Chain A
Amino acid sequence: MNEFVAPEIDWLALAPLIVVLGAGVVGVLLEAFVPARARRVTQIVLTLAALAGGLAFVVYLWPQIVAQPVQVVGGSVTLTPFALGAQGIIALLAFLGVLVVADRTATGQDAFAPTASAVPGTSYEDLARKSGLEQTEIYPLLLFAAGGMMLFASTDDLIVMFIALEVLSLPLYVLCATARRRRLLSQEAAAKYFLLGAFASALFIFGVALIYGFAGTVRLLEIAQRVQQGALPLEGMSALLVAGVLLVTVGLLFKVGAVPFHAWTPDVYTGAPTPITGFMAACTKAAAVAALVEVLYRISIGVQAVDPEIMRQLQVVVVVVAVLTMAVGTVIGSVQTDVKRLLAYSSIAHAGFLLVGIAGFGPQVQSSTLFYLLAYGIATIGAFAVVTLVRERRVTPGAQEDNGPVADDGVVLGEATEIAQWAGLGRKAPWLTAAFALFLLSMAGIPLTAGFIAKFGAFAGATSGGLWWLAVLGVLASVVAVAFYLRLLVVMVFQPGTVEPDSQAEPVETGVPTSSTGDGGEGPTEGGGVATATKVQVTAAQRVVVTVVRSRGPAAVAIAVCAIATVILGVFPSLVLNLVAEASKFVP
Chain B
Amino acid sequence: MDITNYVVLAAVLFAVGATTVLLRRNAIVVFMGVELMLNATNLAFVTFARMHGDLTGQVLAFFVMVVAAAEVVVGLAIIVTIFRTRRSASVDDVNLLKG
The chain A residues found within 8 Å of chain B, CB to CB, are 116-117, 119-120, 159, 162-163, 166, 170, 173-174, 177, 183-185, 187-192, 194-195, 198-199, 201-203, 205-206, 208-210, 212-213, 216-218, 233-234, 266-267, 270-271, 336, 341, 510-511, 513, 515-516, 533-534
Q: Which of B13-27 contact A (CB under 8 A)?
A: 14, 17-18, 21, 27
Beyond A199-B34, A202-B37, whether A516 also contacts B86 by CB under 8 A is yes
Bound CA span A213–B41, Å: 11
User: Which residues from A are CB-within-8-Å of B70?
Assistant: 166, 170
Q: Is the beta-carbon distance between A194 and B44 smaller than 8 angstroms?
A: no
Contact A218 B56 (CB under 8 A): yes
Complex Cα spacing A95 to B52, Å = 44
CB distance from A204 to the nearest CB of B (A): 9
Neighbouring B residues of A187 by C-beta, 8 Å:
78, 81-82, 85, 94
With A173-B78, A194-B74, A198-B75: A511-B96 Cβ-Cβ less than 8 Å: yes
Would you call B44 and A210 a contact (CB within 8 A)?
A: yes
Q: Do residues A212 and B56 form an inter-chain contact, with CB atoms below 8 A? A: yes
Residues of A within 8 A of B75 (CB): 173, 194-195, 198
* Distance, CA A212 to CA B71, complexed state (A): 23
Contact among B21, B49, B56, B63 with A163 in the assembled complex (CB-CB below 8 Å): B63
What chain A residues lie within 8 Å of B21 (beta carbons)? 195, 199
Task: Tell me whether B51 and A234 are in contact (CB under 8 A).
Answer: yes
12 cross-chain CB contacts under 8 A: A162-B67, A187-B78, A194-B75, A198-B75, A199-B37, A209-B45, A212-B48, A213-B51, A336-B99, A516-B85, A516-B86, A533-B96
Complex Cα spacing A341 to B54, Å: 48
A195-B27, A202-B38 known; A162 and B63 CB under 8 Å? yes
Task: Point out the residues of chain B lying under 8 angstroms from A184, CB to CB.
Answer: 85-86, 96
Given contacts A173-B78, A188-B96, A209-B10, 12 further A-B contacts (CB under 8 A): A159-B63, A163-B63, A166-B71, A183-B85, A184-B86, A191-B91, A195-B21, A213-B7, A213-B44, A216-B54, A270-B97, A515-B86
- Counting chain B CB atoms within 10 Å of each CB, which of A120, A216, A233, A336 scores highest? A216
A185 to B99 Cα, complex, angstroms: 14
Provide the residues of chain B in CB contact with A216, threshold 8 Å: 48, 52, 54, 56
Which residues of A have CB within 8 Å of B84?
Answer: 119
Give Cα A205 to B48, complex, Å.
14
Least distance between B23 CB and chain A CB atoms (Å): 13
User: Residues of A contacting B98 with CB < 8 Å?
Assistant: 267
In the complex, the answer to whether B96 meets A233 with C-beta atoms within 8 Å is no
In the bound complex, how far is the Cα of B30 from the Cα of A135, in angstroms?
A: 29
Pick the contact of A174: B14, B48, B74 (CB < 8 A): B74
What's the Cα separation between A180 and B74 when bound, in Å?
19
Identify which of B51, B94, B99 contacts A192 (C-beta below 8 A). B94
Separation in Å of the A355 CB from the closest CB of chain B? 24
* Closest A residue by C-beta to B17: A202
Q: Which of A174, A199, A208, A513 has the most CB of B within 10 A?
A: A199
Interface majority SS (helix, strand, loop, mixed), chain A: helix
Chain A residues within 8 Å of B54, by CB: 216
- Taken together as a complex, chains A and B put the C-alpha atoms of A212 and B64 apart, in Å, by 14
Asked whether, in the complex, the Cβ of B63 is within 8 Å of the Cβ of A170, the reply is no
A188 contact from B44, B71, B77, B97, Cβ within 8 A: B97
A195 to chain B, nearest CB (A): 6
Q: Say yes or no: A198 contacts B34, CB within 8 Å.
A: yes
- Check A174–B77 contact: CB distance below 8 A: yes
Q: What residue in chain A is nearest B14 (Cβ atoms)?
A: A206
Residues of chain A lying within 8 A (CB to CB) of residue B77: 117, 174
- Which of the residues A198, A267, A513 comes within 8 Å of B31, measured between beta carbons? A198
Decide: B34 and A117 in contact? CB cutoff 8 A.
no
If A173-B74, A205-B64, A516-B86 touch, does A191 touch B79 (CB 8 Å cutoff)?
yes
Contacts of A534 in B (CB 8 A): 96
Rounded to whole Å, the gap between the CB of B36 and the closest CB of chain A is 9
Whether B27 pairs with A212 at a CB distance below 8 angstroms is no
Looking at B10, B74, B79, the one whose CB has the most chain A CB atoms below 10 A away is: B74
The interface residues of chain B lying within 8 Å CB-to-CB of A210 are: 44
In Å, the complex CA distance between A183 and B54 comes to: 49
With contacts A173-B78, A187-B78 taken as known, whether A209 is within 8 angstroms of B48 at the C-beta atoms is yes
Q: Which residues of A contact B45 (CB under 8 A)?
A: 209, 212
Residue ID in chain A nearest B21 by CB atoms: A199
Asked whether A205 lies within 8 Å of B41 as measured between CB atoms, the reply is: yes
From A119, A194, A233, A267, B52 is in contact (CB under 8 Å) with A233
Query: Which of B41, B91, B94 touches A202 (beta carbons < 8 Å)?
Result: B41
Decide: A209 near B86, CB < 8 A? Known: A234-B51, A271-B97: no
Q: Is the CB of A513 within 8 A of B86?
A: yes
| CB atoms of B81 and A177 under 8 A apart | yes
Instruction: Please judge, given known A-B contacts A159-B60, A217-B56, A233-B52, whether A195 and B30 are in contact too, CB under 8 Å.
Output: yes
| Beta-carbon nearest neighbor of A171 in chain B | B74
In contact, B74 and A185 (Cβ under 8 angstroms): no
If A202-B17, A515-B87, A516-B85 touch, does A194 touch B78 (CB 8 Å cutoff)? yes
- 4 closest A-B pairs by beta carbon, nearest first, are A202-B37, A267-B97, A213-B48, A209-B44
Residues of B within 8 A of A174 (CB): 74, 77-78
Min CB distance A388 to B, Å, is 19
Is A233 touching B51 in the complex (CB atoms < 8 A)?
yes
Docked complex Cα distance between A159 and B74 (Å) = 20
Shortest distance from the beta carbon of B32 to any chain A beta carbon, whole Å = 11
In the bound assembly, the distance between CA atoms of A178 and B83 in angstroms comes to 16
